[in-house]
Chains A and B, each alone.
Chain A
């Protein structure tokens, strides 16, 4: 990864009255990477996006965009940003061409280069066919693309997309994700979302924000590892004694969830599922459910927000050891 820093945010805070929507967060964005901004609704994602694009004034902190301070030299800083808010800022009575041309002028693209910029933005967002149509008559997916085209028309160093795939159908989502990957080749992209698969597919680096605080910031691969499960849920109609379950191979611990359901913990590298299914069938335990537990985003959040990891600190360490080896 190139190490050119495009954006650096230091100790940024934003208060609404006494409520801290964003509380002293610091992060940076390098050229050529997609930074995923992940968090549940109301965690402060959009607020952060709005602050770094100048739509909200920060209560405290410093924002540096390509060497320009957002407060002191707002115009130069903003010239390097393309922003797609949650709701695309469209003038619906305009045609796509008129609208994008206005955006080009707004971003001070020279007159001679405006047409080129327009054509290029339309090509990248798949809008070539709809240039003459009214934005109002376009489908939601196309409107979203017009929003993205607006954000990249002046080839800014930083492209900030706030939940760009909300409300789109699966095919459109796929296209937009591909587009984001393409953009990352010569821009830095910040992608805010609460959809985990989106981050997994498109981002190089992930930041998780919760209650206005940055609780996690790391490579995407490390997040994947965190989410891997080390337990399975087992449902048996005629369950044996708890001790018998515990004595099975690879099982470290047994937790009784109900009379017929159990959670079995195991080391990450050995899955006991096949073995258990075999034994359950042989001994007629009445197996009706066996399922490796996938940690949900919420569980990862809980782990991350509570600092010390629940129950399986040891396992995580074991795992980290294994991955290092």
Chain B
């Protein structure tokens, strides 16, 4: 209950600043452009596809790349969304309000995380309206679409948990944004080194790569290990954030 109160406040604060609106608008615009150009491409090659047996459909050829681009854009946008979560409260010295209220550190962090997830849900919903609009013209591979949306949601949820932790480390939102971006990019490209190293190490790097686990979802493969990877990732950074916030009281 208290978590929802905190989450609601977080979401409200977000929408009281122009940042949230700007991000929603710009992301939607870019994705719409990509969606339309991708769709046009598809329409051009559609006659040829019709002649092939078992040809890839619109879901594979239009929607999967769209969400691939969305994942990349969200990597750029997530740090901007999460940077202020805790660092701004530190800078404004408004944290004592939460800490001296009868709520636990866990509730504070979970509330903030949930509020940001609310925003992520709005963003993904807006994005998903585009593929859904294709139902007017034909049918989609609903299972694949669901898998892609689920993967994107998990990916964004993971981005946000990392951003929350980075925000809890500093009182400067820009530093939080920069370090979140750096970490995300590192996790994104970590498996590029994989091919050259020996097998065991490259396996580990591939496992760590945040993108690898997303790719399976975008092919419609639901692997419980990918799912667990994201859950572990999110839990890790939430727990670290709680500990960090608690650590504020202990030392300085």
Contacts and interface: CB of A to CB of B under 8 A. Distances in A.
Contacts of B12: 94, 98
B92 to A, nearest CB: 7
Contacts, number: 70
Interface stretch (A102-110, A175-183, A243-251, A300-308): A102-110
B101 to A, nearest CB: 5
A87 B95 CA distance: 11
Interface string B128-167: 0000000000000000000000000000000000000000
Interface in A82-101: 83, 85, 87, 89-94, 98
Nearest to B16: A93
A83 B100 contact: yes
Interface string A45-75: 0000010011111000000000000000011
Contacts of B17: 93
**What size tier do the contact residues of chain B reach?**
20 to 34
A147 to B, nearest CB: 9
Given A53-B96, A55-B96, A107 B252 contact: no
B196 interface: no
A55 B100 contact: yes
Contacts of B48: none
Task: Report whether over half of chain B's contact residues are helix, strand or loop; otherwise say mixed.
Answer: helix
A76 B102 contact: yes
A53 B5 contact: no
B99 interface: yes
Interface string B66-90: 0000000000000000000000000
A190 to B, nearest CB: 13
B126 interface: no
Interface string B205-222: 000000000000000000
Nearest to A104: B5
A64 B252 CA distance: 24
B95 A106 contact: no
B103 interface: yes
A130 interface: no
A54 B2 contact: no
Interface string B105-129: 0000000000000000000000000
B100 A102 contact: no
> Of B6, B9, B95, which is in contact with the most chain A CB atoms at under 10 Å from its CB?
B9
A93 B97 contact: no
A150 interface: yes
Contact of A106 (B97, B104, B252): B97
B5 A89 contact: no
Contacts of A102: 5, 9
B102 A75 contact: yes
Contacts of A76: 102
Contacts of B16: 93-94
Contacts of B200: none
B204 interface: no
Contacts of B102: 74-76, 78-79, 107-108
Given A55-B249, A105-B5, A93 B99 contact: no
Contacts of B6: 106
Interface of B: 2, 5-6, 9, 12-13, 16-17, 92-104, 249-250, 252
20 contacts: A53-B99, A53-B100, A55-B96, A55-B99, A57-B249, A74-B104, A75-B102, A81-B100, A85-B93, A89-B92, A90-B94, A91-B92, A93-B16, A102-B9, A106-B6, A106-B97, A106-B98, A106-B103, A107-B102, A150-B97
Closest CB pairs A-B (n = 3) = A89-B97, A89-B94, A79-B102
Given A54-B249, A55-B100, A90-B94, 10 more contacts: A16-B252, A53-B96, A54-B99, A55-B95, A57-B250, A75-B104, A89-B92, A90-B92, A92-B92, A102-B9
